[in-house]
Amino acid sequence: MSQDQKHQVLKRKLGPEELRRLETPAIERESHGQTSAKSSVPDSASTVAVDFAGVTKSYGNKVVVDELSFSVASGECFGLLGPNGAGKSTIARMLLGMTCPDAGAITVLGVPVPARARLARRGIGVVPQFDNLDQELTVRENLLVFGRYFGMSTRQSEAVIPSLLEFARLERKADARVSELSGGMKRCLTMARALINDPQLIVMDEPTTGLDPHARHLIWERLRALLTRGKTIILTTHFMEEAERLCDRLCVLEKGRNIAEGGPQALIDEHIGCQVMEIYGGDPHELLSLVKPHSQRIEVSGETLYCYAPDPDQVRTQLQGRAGLRLLLRPANLEDVFLRLTGREMEE
């Protein structure tokens, strides 16, 4: 298949907006803003790394993944965003061939899964949600032992361990037991462990859950370093900021269904399309009637009013002179999209 043909296939699968975002590597968008489209398609973007087509999985009567379809191109960071119980971990397990789907087809790195999952896993690194490092072993031994599971000899593993320790910033902890490491260090070690087989695709299941802000930023920074190396990343998270910061594209999941898919900004533009004014400090129902004529949509949550207004100044004028009110005008984010799509009670 020629480069152009591959591009066409990708275009059909992903749509023009996603493709435009793909054509610009994430790092470049970070520095130049997202309008800097490039003229040529990078090689890494010309293949599909992961493809789910109509995948369904149920346990008993409970449908966990429902007719799910998505495609991830090589070199992109793709997010699976959803609350707990949305099916994210089941999707990750199916991708690795650790759970068989009831229906549908999964292709990972050009190989059908679960039929040839063992071959696919050769190119996959996994950072799981729950720490499963070997607590009894040292940092170095953890890497060495994991290399053996991929059939690597001690010599082969020892050749790559220094660079992995450097990546994880654990050079000085090489001979420390895992039980002596902090939560952030353990997660960095898990990331390094996932790289021992030099995978093309890295699956990260809730990589920053339970970490303090400092460790979280370190993980994000390491994750971006992987993207610059051209790795493909599938990231499951319920953490909107994480998805917004890192993902090129994402799919919003609710009860195992794909309810929206696209770039973070594209989703925000499509589903919210304006700034959000948070109003609190007064009687929300009284405020509601005041600002309603000037808003596209209003949502009340507790004592806070979320006001999606094309012209926030009008709302501000309307509320002028009222004592004790606090107004916060902010750009819309994925959380707003998520709440909109999953239907917290909303006033149109």
Interface ranges with another protein (CB under 8 A): 59, 96-100, 114-115, 117-118, 121-122, 124-126, 128, 130-137, 141, 145-146, 148-151, 193-194, 197
C-alpha pair distances (Å), 274 with each of 42, 269, 279: 33, 7, 16
Q: Report, in Å, the least distance between residue 19 CB and another protein.
A: 31
Where do we find the tokens 């990589």?
207
CA distances from 236 to 66, 108, 242, 336 (A): 17, 17, 10, 18
Angle at 202 between CA 134 and CA 160, to 5 degrees: 60
Residue number with CB closer to another protein (3 or 153): 153
Q: Least CB distance from residue 179 to another protein, whole Å?
A: 12
Q: Which is nearer to another protein, 9 or 145 (CB)?
A: 145
Q: Is the Cβ of residue 146 or residue 306 nearer to another protein in the bound state?
A: 146
Alpha-carbon gap, residue 138 to 173, rounded angstroms:
9
Find the shortest distance in angstroms from Cβ 98 to another protein: 6
Burial status of residue 208 (CB atoms within 10 A of its CB: 0-12, 13-18, 19 or more)? buried
Give the contacts of 305 (CB within 8 A, at least 6 positions apart): 278, 279, 280, 284, 287, 288, 291, 298, 299
Cβ closer to another protein: 204 or 337?
Answer: 204
Nearer to another protein among residue 117 and residue 332 (C-beta)? 117
Q: Which two tokens stand for residue 81?
A: 């965003």
Q: Least CB distance from residue 63 to another protein, whole Å?
A: 15
Minimum gap (Å) between residue 187 Cβ and another protein: 14
Least separation in angstroms between residue 134's CB and another protein is: 6
- Grouping H, G, I as helix, E, B as strand and the rest as coil, residue 36 is coil
The smaller minimum CB distance to another protein, of residues 128 and 282, is found at 128
In the block, which residue shows the tokens 């960071």?
Answer: 77
